[in-house]
Amino acid sequence: MMRVHIREASVPDAAAIAKVHVDSWRTTYTGVVPDEYLAQLSYEQHGQVWRDILSTHSAKEFVYVAEAEASNIIGFASGGPERSGNTVYKGELYAMYLLEGYQRKGIGGQLAQAIAKRLVQEGFHSMLVWVLANNPSQDFYSALGGQRVYEQEITIGEVRLVEVAYGWWDIRELVP
């Protein structure tokens, strides 16, 4: 397992988070999401979105980054209260992305632990995450103990895709 520095993100991290977000989508979702959609992803646009999130998020919503050597941000995860009003799963892992070269090295697990720990601190003991069914990394969530609990269709770039939710009844088991 590769050890990295996990810390809470701040506004100056927005551009680096945007780069990880866009680059991860382009490597992970090639052949899953339409090529035209991936091609139009923009560092600038995502940077503004992340600046807005980091400057206006509520105290219960949070973003963590993973830094490798020389303080380079190589991944991030965000979470907070579940957004759809689910009555079973109260916390949510909104997003987690790592640059391709850093995947399958234990960093995702470290980010998931950071999110779970913060959710527990905020009073949440269950968690949900939505993942594209064709995401090659979806087994990661099963390996962390998540159970496949829901399925829904979404549209990305005019293509209908299936998204699955993994849920944890008690996320305290993810917290070291």
Task: Give tens-digit pLDDT for 73-118.
Answer: 999 999 999 999 999 999 999 999 999 999 999 999 999 999 999 9
Strand order from edge to edge, sheet including 159-168: 5-8, 62-67, 73-81, 91-98, 127-132, 159-168, 147-156
- Hey, is 135 helix, strand or coil? coil
In whole angstroms, give the CA distance from residue 114 to residue 19: 21
Cα angle at 79 between 38 and 34, to 5 degrees? 15
pLDDT tier for residue 23 given thresholds of 50, 70 and 90: very high
Asked whether residue 152 is domain-assigned, the answer is: no
Q: How many domains does the chain have?
A: 1
State the pLDDT at residue 141: 94
State the pLDDT at residue 151: 95
Asked whether residue 78 is domain-assigned, the answer is: yes
pLDDT tier for residue 127 given thresholds of 50, 70 and 90: very high
Kindly report the CATH number assigned to the domain that includes residue 16: 3.40.630.30
- Amino acid identity of residue 162, one-letter, is V
pLDDT digits (tens, 9 = 90+) for 49-81: 999 999 986 777 899 999 997 779 999 999 999
pLDDT tier for residue 124 given thresholds of 50, 70 and 90: very high
Asked whether residue 100 is domain-assigned, the answer is: yes
Asked whether residue 70 is domain-assigned, the answer is: yes
Asked whether residue 61 is domain-assigned, the answer is: yes
pLDDT digits (tens, 9 = 90+) for 155-170: 998 889 999 999 999 9
Asked whether residue 145 is domain-assigned, the answer is: no
3-state secondary structure 59-74: CCCEEEEEECHHHCEE
pLDDT tier for residue 176 given thresholds of 50, 70 and 90: confident
- pTM of the predicted protein model: 0.93
Asked whether residue 13 is domain-assigned, the answer is: yes
pLDDT tier for residue 1 given thresholds of 50, 70 and 90: low
Range of 73's domain? 5-124
State the pLDDT at residue 152: 95
Terminal CA-to-CA distance of the chain, rounded, Å? 15
136: pLDDT strictly greater than 70:
yes
Task: Report in angstroms the alpha-carbon separations of 99 from 25, 95, 169, 170.
Answer: 9, 14, 29, 29
Residue 148: phi and psi, rounded to 5, are -70, 115
State the pLDDT at residue 16: 97
Asked whether residue 135 is domain-assigned, the answer is: no
State the pLDDT at residue 158: 85
**Residue given tokens 């070291």 in the structure block:** 176
Helix (H) or strand (E) holding 98: strand 91-98
